[in-house]
Amino acid sequence: MIERDDLRAAVGAGIVTEAQAASLTSLADHRRGARRDLSAGDETFELFKGFNEIFIVIGLIILATGWLTIVGVSVTDRIASPQLTGPYSGGIGAVVLWLLSEYFVRKRRMIAPAIMLSIFFAMNAALAFSLYFAQPFMVARQDYSSLPLPFALGTLALLIYWFRFRVPFALAMIAVGLFTVAIMMVATSQGTPKSVSELFLLSAGGSFAWITLVLGLAVFAIAMMFDMSDPHRVTRRSANGFWLHVVAAPALVNTLALTLLDSQSHFALFVVMMVFAFVAIIIDRRSFLIAAIGYIVALASTIFDGEGAALTVLVLGIVLLLLGALWEKIRARLLRLMPGFFPLHRLPPSNF
């Protein structure tokens, strides 16, 4: 292990510069801090670092509420058209949120305020673009053909925000924005879906479920790119992958599981859920299992009645507890069974 004295000696010998030595020291401190309180094989997950961040989030919520109230009163008093006032208020709000992000995100490196600021920025961008491009007859005639463009521009604005501030949660909202734009584009040509299930049923006859499946695979692939670039999960790339998995897993599980459940293919559904569990363990991401739990319960209630369903749910709870306790041991054995061409060096290492 290289100590600080070794780095000082390397600087003195001209092997590395002082800036490089400082960067190495900072990286080492960050790596130790990232996993200091975690057991082997656990995932890093933070929503806030301290109560001060919660205090700031509450302040941001109150600030946003006051701003929306002022805008609403201004529109009412002046009897102004929201199509004229909305873009200006949304644009001003986005600029203010950008400046606040410069301080709380880039300078203070706060987690919870970064999430809240990214949410508010996305809302302001979507509001500004949607009101600017929306047609007056959109609601009255149920004509939503003008909505895909503003939502696409809002998603693009959020992508620019992410490039500047690198807030991992913003990537999840960008993925959801892409889903929304794609669904709206199909809805304008094929009509709005009759129910939420039509967004996931491949047997529904429309394109909604196929879009959800394809985008889910794309988001999963991007999440894996982040994960495989940081197998030890000590940088922000790991958090990017985590939030993308949170979006990708429900899209994939919902589409396949609902389709199989609707077609009464219970055995195929069980096999698919096992595949998702296998993938979750191999890539060391528990979000896939969380998304699949609801369908396992639905499968139990569909196939069994009364005590049978209750017993299945009870067994499921026991299995999940055992899996949580023995996750690393199970994963280590599965990794040993993987073929040689599998890029195990790009996945989180096993500690058993």
Please give the structure tokens belonging to residue 97: 């949120």
User: What would the mean pLDDT of 304-310 be, rounded to a whole number?
Assistant: 66
Binning pLDDT at 50, 70 and 90, where does residue 69 land?
confident
pLDDT confidence of residue 231: 83
**Least-confidence region, from 74-83, 86-95, 246-255:** 74-83
The Cα–Cα gap between 234 and 42 comes to 12
The Cα–Cα gap between 321 and 44 comes to 19
Alpha-carbon dihedral of residues 136, 139, 142, 144, nearest 10 degrees?
A: 70
Binning pLDDT at 50, 70 and 90, where does residue 82 land?
low
Rounded alpha-carbon distances, angstroms, from residue 43 to 192, 264, 265: 39, 36, 34
Please give the structure tokens belonging to residue 146: 């003008």
Q: What is the pLDDT of residues 159-215, one digit of tens each?
A: 999 999 999 999 999 999 999 888 888 877 776 666 666 666 776 666 778 888 899
pLDDT confidence of residue 85: 64
Binning pLDDT at 50, 70 and 90, where does residue 74 land?
low
User: What would the mean pLDDT of 320-337 be, rounded to a whole number?
Assistant: 86
Q: What is the pLDDT of residues 169-184, one digit of tens each?
A: 999 999 999 998 888 8
The Cα–Cα gap between 89 and 128 comes to 7
> Looking at the predicted structure, is the pLDDT value of residue 10 above 90?
no
pLDDT confidence of residue 48: 73
Residue the block writes with tokens 């989180």? 348
Q: DSSP letters of 200-269? A: T-GGGSSSHHHHHHHHHHHHHHHHHHHHHT-TT--SHHHHHHHHHHHHHHHHHHHHHHHHHHHTT-HHHH
Residue the block writes with tokens 């306790």? 325
**Least-confidence region, from 213-227, 249-263, 322-336:** 249-263
Residue 114 Ramachandran class (φ > 0 left, ψ -120 to 50 alpha, else beta): alpha
User: What would the mean pLDDT of 322-337 be, rounded to a whole number?
Assistant: 87
Q: Which amino acid is at 156?
A: L
Q: DSSP letters of 30-87? A: HHHHHSTT--TTPPP--S-SSHHHHHHHHHHHHHHHHHHHHHHHHHHHHT--HHHHHH
Q: Are the C-beta atoms of residues 277 and 306 closer than 8 Å to each other?
A: no
